[in-house]
């Protein structure tokens, strides 16, 4: 906090369910109670890990930030998060450009009908699903484009067409894959 020059942060997350994340969560609950964070949450928690963390702690995470985009829509995860009142937040809303998402025929056709870009269609689709999105761009004009999603609405037919794009699998890697767990654990081990 000293290094950030802040007295509190708005949201403080556990990056992934690896290592002693229960110990981390207990300390984060204290940070929250002392006012060091306005909200605390998690990231990359699959339903089983999320339910377990909720069951064995006092504070329910405010947010679970998980990979969510048209090719990996996380509908089952979202239902469970709704049930537990955990806000679904999307990382990689554009799948980081993978699978030529910016020229996807279905998303392009929907965008053309609304006079909007594929990026805007995706962000609007997430918003209408009640998913918070944190798109990343280093370009000012794209940041402005990514904010301009509150002046149009996707139709039920548009929403239905996007459902059909779901592959229900990661465009990156699965946090439940033992090889990924080993690789990520080695990367986060202090040196
Ligand atoms: N919790 C986690 O494990 C986790 C994992 C990954 C990422 N994240 C976070 O998620 C956030 C989202 O970032 P992300 O990198 O994953 O992916 P993303 O937002 O899906 O995609 C970023 C890519 O899209 C391009 N882009 C952005 N706006 C665009 C637009 N309007 N039109 C065309 N291209 C556009 C960017 O290029 P330019 O920059 O050149 O515009 C960049 O190449 C970041 O804050 C990141 O830190 C979290």
pLDDT one-digit tens code per residue, 125-137: 999 999 999 999 9
19 neighbors 49 (Cβ within 8 angstroms): no
Tell me: pLDDT of 190 over 90: no
Q: Is 43 in the pocket of ligand 1 (CB under 6 A)?
A: yes
Ligand 1, atom 36: nearest CA belongs to which residue? 137
**Distance set, CA 58 to CA 28, 54, 67, 85, 184 (Å):** 11, 7, 26, 14, 28
The proportion of the chain whose per-residue pLDDT surpasses 90, expressed as a percent, equals 94
Which bin fits 92, alpha (ψ -120 to 50), beta or left (φ > 0)? left
Q: How many CB atoms lie within 10 A of CB 72?
A: 20
Confidence of residue 91 (pLDDT cuts 50, 70, 90): very high
Residue reference for tokens 């946090």 = 175
Tell me: pLDDT of 189 over 90: no
Q: Is 93 in the pocket of ligand 1 (CB under 6 A)?
A: yes
The mean pLDDT of the chain is 96
* Region of poorest pLDDT, from 74-83, 111-120, 166-175: 166-175
Q: Is 145 in the pocket of ligand 1 (CB under 6 A)?
A: yes
Tell me: pLDDT of 82 over 70: yes
Q: Is 139 in the pocket of ligand 1 (CB under 6 A)?
A: yes
Per-residue pLDDT, 191: 61
């Amino acid at each position: 906090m000293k290094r950030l020059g802040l007295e509190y942060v708005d949201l403080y997350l556990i990056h992934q369910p690896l290592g002693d994340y229960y110990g981390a969560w207990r300390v984060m609950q204290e940070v929250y109670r002392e006012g060091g964070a306005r909200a605390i949450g998690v990231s990359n928690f699959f339903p089983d890990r999320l339910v377990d963390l909720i069951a064995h702690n006092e504070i329910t995470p405010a947010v679970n930030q998980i990979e969510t985009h048209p090719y990996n829509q996380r509908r089952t995860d979202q239902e469970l998060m709704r049930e537990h009142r955990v806000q679904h937040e999307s990382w990689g809303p554009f799948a980081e450009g993978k699978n030529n998402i910016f020229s996807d025929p279905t998303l392009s056709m929907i965008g053309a009908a609304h006079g909007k870009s594929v990026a805007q269609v995706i962000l609007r689709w997430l918003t209408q699903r009640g998913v918070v999105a944190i798109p990343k761009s280093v370009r000012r004009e794209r940041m402005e484009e990514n904010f301009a999603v509150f002046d149009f609405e996707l139709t039920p037919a548009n929403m239905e067409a996007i459902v059909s794009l779901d592959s229900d699998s990661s465009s990156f890697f699965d946090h439940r894959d033992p090889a990924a767990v080993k690789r990520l654990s080695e990367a986060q081990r202090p040196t």
